[in-house]
Amino acid sequence: MRKILYVASAVAFMACSSSKNASNEDANVDQAAKYAKSITAKDLGKHLFVYASDEFEGRETGEPGQKKAVEYLKNFYVSEGIASPLGGDDYFQEVPADFLNKRNRRTPLKDSENVVAFIKGSEKPDEIVVISAHLDHEGIKKEEIYNGADDDGSGTVAILEIAQAFQLAKKAGKGPKRSILFLHVTGEEKGLLGSKYYTDVDPIFPLANTVCDLNIDMIGRIDDRHKADPNYVYLIGSDKLSTELHNISEAVNKKYTNINLDYKYNDENDPNRFYYRSDHYNFAKNNVPVIFYFNGTHADYHRPTDTPDKINYELLENRTRLVFYTAWEVANMENRIVADKAEVKETSK
């Protein structure tokens, strides 16, 4: 009997030691780097060759091709076990036609929808990190399909890969401390309408609880300025509202991705005014810190020639990982980032 007890104790001791060693090894692993590896050029390409295919008919707001696109996004989140913040299997935030058509249009828009998915934070679930991209494009013009592979199929599939990486971490007990909202907005090409509906009409989570918006709009190509050195991405808005967010972005890039962060279009005097031309702006105008990730325009911008075969998938992979690393840091840091440059809005007495 004593011999049996001794053997049992020895086995228990070895199991405990093994568990401690595994725990110590896990503590020494860079968790962000571990899960970033799941973001691959191959998977990004697999998604984009579907999402920017002729089948989706250019994803015109409210039209059948766009409806196919939102179903594709929903089915991905369902398959990955990533929940909807709306509950059940409802991943669509309805954006009604009367809102989309407030400005008179030659061809009125039909009802559309934003697609939303959500990973709840483990420690600070009421603080929300938003990762956004627009799901729509130009549709069909003169019988030519505007596939929108870069604009903004690249941002859309980047979010899918980022969401999968966070979900893998969550399943392993390493999920984010803050909640992550994956927000695919409609009607960007019609005037940032889907994001405007979210921020101005029906924010699913209070904007006061929204830590930042990391917005991805065109990150799969190279512009003429960088043909000789394609390892770049334009960052716009990172320092407009939060010095801390800008510094985090710089630090994670230096540590992990080593991309040339180009701030040319961040200049207040830039005539292109890109800061005001993508969905992050609807968050920024509400004092939510933002970063807009952008590769600049190219010969295929808003042309039917913006097709998935022209995407540089290795660049897309690294740029997507940069967004993931930034989101990981913001979601897991001890204190919420400070919007030190936000305008204080006067309240009526």
Tokens of 298: 């190219």
Task: Work out whether strand 112-119 and strand 92-95 pair parallel, antiparallel, or are unpaired.
Answer: antiparallel
Residues shown for the chain: 349
pLDDT at 139 over 90: yes
Coil, strand or helix: which one is 300?
A: coil
Beta partners for residue 94, in sequence order: 113
Average pLDDT value for residue range 137-142: 98
Q: pLDDT tens digit string along 264-323?
A: 999 999 999 999 999 999 999 999 999 999 999 999 999 999 999 999 999 999 999 999
Contact (Cβ atoms closer than 8 angstroms) between residue 327 and residue 293:
no
Other CB atoms within 10 Å distance of the CB of residue 160: 26
Tokens of 250: 């710089």
The reported pLDDT for the residue numbered 348 is 41
User: Positive or negative CA dihedral for 218, 220, 223, 229?
Assistant: positive
Contact (Cβ atoms closer than 8 angstroms) between residue 281 and residue 294:
no
Coil, strand or helix: which one is 231?
A: coil
To the question of pTM greater than 0.85 for the whole model, the response is: yes
Contact (Cβ atoms closer than 8 angstroms) between residue 176 and residue 92:
no
Q: What value does the mean pLDDT of the chain take?
A: 93
**26 band by pLDDT with thresholds 50, 70 and 90:** confident
Beta strands in the chain (DSSP E): 92-95, 112-119, 124-134, 139-141, 144-146, 178-185, 210-216, 232-236, 260-262, 290-294
